[in-house]
Structure 1
Amino acid sequence: MPLPFLTADRDLDLETPAADSAALPHDEPDHWRRPYRPGPWRVGAAAVFLLLASFVLISATIIAMAGSLPGAAACALLGAVLIALAVRLLRVGVWVSARGLRQVNLLRTATEPWSAIAAVRTRQQPVRWLGLPRTVQGQSLIIERTQGEPLRPLITDHNGDFLSRPEAFERAADVLEAWAAEYRD
């Protein structure tokens, strides 16, 4: 069952002529939006962290009822960290707006204004499989900046959002390239 409220790609029905005219059909281009849905690997990992957090919070409750408040506080803090990690893991990805392109990582966020971007294009190159050190041959979407070195690949066809979903990768790459073409000028 699709969840159309998750991202702006709910309106990307390719049979309608309005879908071809805009990079992402929505009313407010100034809001940061992810042009693709989070993949099953990313959602599954976040669900495991939330499940683990629920067990830790239940154990914090049991420890508090047993009378050891410092231990319960430590467990509650660990549960809060696990919940924050799960939420941040779901936010990881590429976000776009009329102001620029934002690359959200687990611990860091980088924003590039459209004026600093020379090109956004797809390239065949070795890519990491699910972010692990193992590399495989695949496609990646890269940003070439007007000054300086290119940024690390934005998205790859073997990351947590697009593994086993090549059509979703192609659609996300096309949408990101369309945003770059529309707002870079």
Structure 2
Amino acid sequence: MPLPFLTADRAFDEVADDVALPFDDRDQWRRPYRPGPWRVGFAALLLLLASYVMFAAVIIAFTGGLGGGAVCGIIALLIIGAALRLLRVGTWVSAHGLRRVAFFQTQTVPWAQVVTVRTVQQPVRWLGLPRTVQGQALLLVRRDKADERSALVTSHGADFLARTEAFDRASDAIEVWAEEYRPHQA
């Protein structure tokens, strides 16, 4: 079974260096990097937990507790949904704009609203926890919120912890998409 979210940046690996945007269909939303091992590992643990809960649901249903089995089945489906959503978290790009997918919300910014996308050195959260360390962040500056700079990806997030080359490649790819599609000031 093909898993397209795991092959996101193979197109960047296989294309010559002079081609910045190697995709034919640029209207399709895509994440220009693979999910990191921390994100994939945690999703795998959630799926393992869901399999145990589903097994418990089957046992409970066969012993005559259909209500309890249904509740366990619903909990297992919620855990599976959480694991799949966790794998979709990240920054996505297309010709339409830039999309930041968080666990509970998705924010889409059209390229016309993007002032700049750049990599800066700053304190960043380690794996999204309150602890901060010195690292790199890819910042988005919007026209409607010029004083607010939001970090799209960081070098110490779940996708790029201990993968500096992957962070550099992903931030460069997102910056190229922004340079290609955002309107330029005269």
- Say yes or no: TM over 0.5: yes
Aligned to 2:116: 119
Q: Deviations over 1:127-175 (max 9, x none)?
A: 1100111111110001011121434210000000000000000000000
**Is 1:169 the equivalent of 2:149?**
no
Q: Deviations over 1:3-60 (max 9, x none)?
A: 88734421224882xx4232x3011000000000000000000000000000000000
Percent identical pairs in the alignment equals 58
**Is 1:26 the equivalent of 2:23?**
yes
Aligned to 1:10: 10
Distance in structure 2 (CA, Å) of the matches to 1:8 and 1:75: 34
Q: Which amino acid aligns with 1:91?
A: R
Instruction: Report 1:93-112 matches (<5 A).
Output: 93-112=90-109
Distance in structure 2 (CA, Å) of the matches to 1:57 and 1:117: 45
Q: Which residue of 135, 156, 159 corresponds with 1:158?
A: 156
Q: Which residue of 16, 41, 56 corresponds with 1:44?
A: 41
Distance in structure 1 (CA, Å) of the matches to 2:149 and 2:35: 21
- Cα gap change, 1:68 to 1:165, in 2 (>3 Å): same
Q: Which amino acid aligns with 2:10?
A: R
Q: Which amino acid aligns with 2:91?
A: V
The gaps in structure 2 that reach 5 residues or longer are none
Q: TM-score, normalised by structure 2?
A: 0.92
CA RMSD across the alignment = 1.6
Distance in structure 2 (CA, Å) of the matches to 1:94 and 1:137: 21
The gaps in structure 1 that reach 5 residues or longer are none
Q: Deviations over 1:42-90 (max 9, x none)?
A: 0000000000000000000000001011111110010000000000000
Distance in structure 2 (CA, Å) of the matches to 1:166 and 1:107: 27
Q: TM-score, normalised by structure 1?
A: 0.92
Distance in structure 2 (CA, Å) of the matches to 1:55 and 1:15: 42
Aligned to 2:179: 181
Aligned to 1:146: 143
